[in-house]
A and B are shown apart, each in its own frame.
Chain A
Amino acid sequence: DAGVIQSPRHEVTEMGQEVTLRCKPISGHNSLFWYRQTMMRGLELLIYFNNNVPIDDSGMPEDRFSAKMPNASFSTLKIQPSEPRDSAVYFCASSFPRLAGSQALDTQYFGPGTRLTVL
């Protein structure tokens, strides 16, 4: 099992440029999450998909951020235009369908993250 795959692992760009982060979830997982982690704000949930449909995007900071999940094996997080305050580590995570006998979500499996630096 390759785990959650994210690309690129590191991205350095200039303010105003478009940035696209990519994620391939674990096969068979039907929930996908995008998080942002900074020293100041900790781990923040940006958006959550279930069966490729966005369920909760209340964490997306502003219109410059958008996320898509065109199929069960691929998702993108796009920032356009990027700003220095977007510099952070962005994690993608996926999880199985709900725990047996429960409506609660099961364990999330995280990718290695993309470290984004906007100059």
Chain B
Amino acid sequence: GDSVTQMEGPVTLSEEAFLTINCTYTATGYPSLFWYVQYPGEGLQLLLKATKADDKGSNKGFEATYRKETTSFHLEKGSVQVSDSAVYFCALSVTTGGNQFYFGTGTSLTVIP
């Protein structure tokens, strides 16, 4: 069935380090792909999205490219900050079926000064 698989956490990085959080998906049709971020005590909020193959979503220094050939949507940031500490969720929206929005399990990121 349709699903997303994302990198297990937790991830701990030093400030200004490079971040990659892997996400791969399985889907029928032409899914849209999303990254959400959840800061402590808050709801999830959209970080970026891509709606077709080869699209690159970007926001706040984060980027992810929709790779159909590898069924991936890895999240990257060149230089993380302490304020990026949060849980990151990969998600996909598919075109068929009743349950049409799938979230990954989340990856916790802690950035230390």
Which residues, 69 to 113 on B, are CB-close (under 8 Å) to A? 89, 93-96, 98-101, 103, 105-106
Structural contact, B32 and A102, CB atoms closer than 8 A? yes
Which chain B residues border A55 with CB–CB below 8 Å? 98
**Cα-based distance from A111 to B44 in the complex (angstroms):** 8
Structural contact, B100 and A58, CB atoms closer than 8 A? no
Closest partner residue, chain B, to A113 (CB atom): B43
User: B51 in the interface, Cβ–Cβ < 8 Å?
Assistant: yes
> Nearest chain A CB to B62's CB is how many angstroms away?
15
Interface size grouping (class) on chain B: 20 to 34
Say which one of A11-19, A41-49, A61-69, A70-78 lies at the interface with B: A41-49
Among candidates B45, B93, B103, B106, residue contacting A104 with C-beta atoms closer than 8 Å: B93
Which chain B residues border A103 with CB–CB below 8 Å? 29, 95-96
Which chain A residues border B99 with CB–CB below 8 Å? 45, 48, 56, 58-59
**Cα-based distance from A111 to B96 in the complex (angstroms):** 26
Among candidates B29, B31, B32, B106, residue contacting A43 with C-beta atoms closer than 8 Å: B106
**Cα-based distance from A14 to B46 in the complex (angstroms):** 35
User: B34 in the interface, Cβ–Cβ < 8 Å?
Assistant: yes
Structural contact, B94 and A110, CB atoms closer than 8 A? no
User: A27 in the interface, Cβ–Cβ < 8 Å?
Assistant: no
Which chain B residues border A43 with CB–CB below 8 Å? 44, 89, 103, 105-106
Q: Which residues of B contact A (CB under 8 A)?
A: 29-32, 34, 42-46, 49, 51, 89, 93-96, 98-101, 103, 105-106
Q: What are 8 residue pairs bridging A and B, where the CB atoms are less than 8 Å apart in the complex?
A: A48-B100, A99-B32, A99-B93, A104-B30, A104-B94, A105-B93, A109-B46, A113-B42
